[in-house]
Amino acid sequence: MATLTYRDALNQALREEMSRDDRVFLMGEEVAEYDGAYKVSRGLLKEFGPKRVVDTPIAELGFAGIGVGAAMVGLRPVIEMMTWNFALLAIDQIVNSAAKMRYMSGGQIGVPIVFRGPGGAALQLGAQHSQAFESYYAHIPGLKVIAPATPADAKGLLKAAIRDDDPVVFIEGEMLYNQKGDVPEGEHLVPIGRADVKRAGRDVTIISHSKTVGPALKAAESLAAEGIDAEVIDLRTIRPLDTEAILGSVGKTNRCVVAEEGWAFAGVGAQVVDVIQRDAFDALDAPILRVTGADVPMPYNKHLERAAKVDAGKIHEAAKKVLYR
């Protein structure tokens, strides 16, 4: 095992896949000369050259469309969004072209493309640059949506996404890039659509993904100090959703808390709750509780921003409520 940052794990995945398959290329703002806004593409221009690591103007709709067209004729583009907030400008290409082309062509034209970049809130970037968009894209048939929480999962899932024959929305946690973790050496693939048990437990299930996995694990530690054994599930993939893992855990613990960075209304957690109430209602010993971001545009003030975000304390309290403690 090598210890890598989340950023370097992504870089390793890109380098390995570009070496393995000359159809893979990277395109986006500042990915080449600047080594990426978050240094995920560091060194790739020098290694692969300007035809495979391509800087673009500030024109998300344009370069997303170039990527879709390239995928339609057999290449495997990786399109970096400097942030998923900026991808709103490219949503027509992602939703109306990439997601629908295979269906509308009767299966004749595939779009093997990855749209990737950081999502969610960082620190004091304001309301327009602090949004978690997983549920937006998960709503769309034809898109796969991935949101890894650890360096190992970031590498393994990005490699799997690049090899996938369908369009993938790959949302990286903006505050996770410096997080370190063990990453398997050599060929490391994580299957798309399979959740992971980050901590086994018997009393309550905490379902999380991306940046809420860390707070969920911290909450599990503080709950353990009170004699509560929490199981932490990392969804890893939002669509397709691993319903088997969700139902298996809730069937064991009989109680559930769902934590996500995004807003509550029509969020990822709402879909998770629907799965549980429909297929595991009789297993529940308490109503499911959701812990989400506050239902407001993200404040700039650091104290209000902190109050609006999900943290370990909020997850801890929700877990105690479903246990009637």
Of 156, 184, 325, 189, the C-alpha closest to 257 is 325
Please tell me the distance from the alpha carbon of residue 41 to that of residue 311, in angstroms, as a whole number.
30
Rounded CA-CA distance 61/250 in Å is 41
Q: Which of 17, 29, 60, 172 is catalytic?
A: 60
Give catalytic status of residue 129 as yes or no: yes
Which CA distances in Å does 140 have to 99, 115, 181, 219? 7, 14, 32, 32
Does residue 60 have an active-site annotation?
yes
Residue 242 tokens read as 């691993």
Query: Both tokens of residue 10?
Result: 């992504």
3-state secondary structure of 2: strand
On whether the CB atoms of residues 134 and 119 are closer than 8 A, the answer is yes
Residues 151, 175: Cα–Cα separation, whole Å: 12
- Of 230, 244, 159, 162, whose CA–CA distance to 196 is shortest? 244
How many residues does this entry show for the chain?
Answer: 325
Catalytic residues: 60, 129
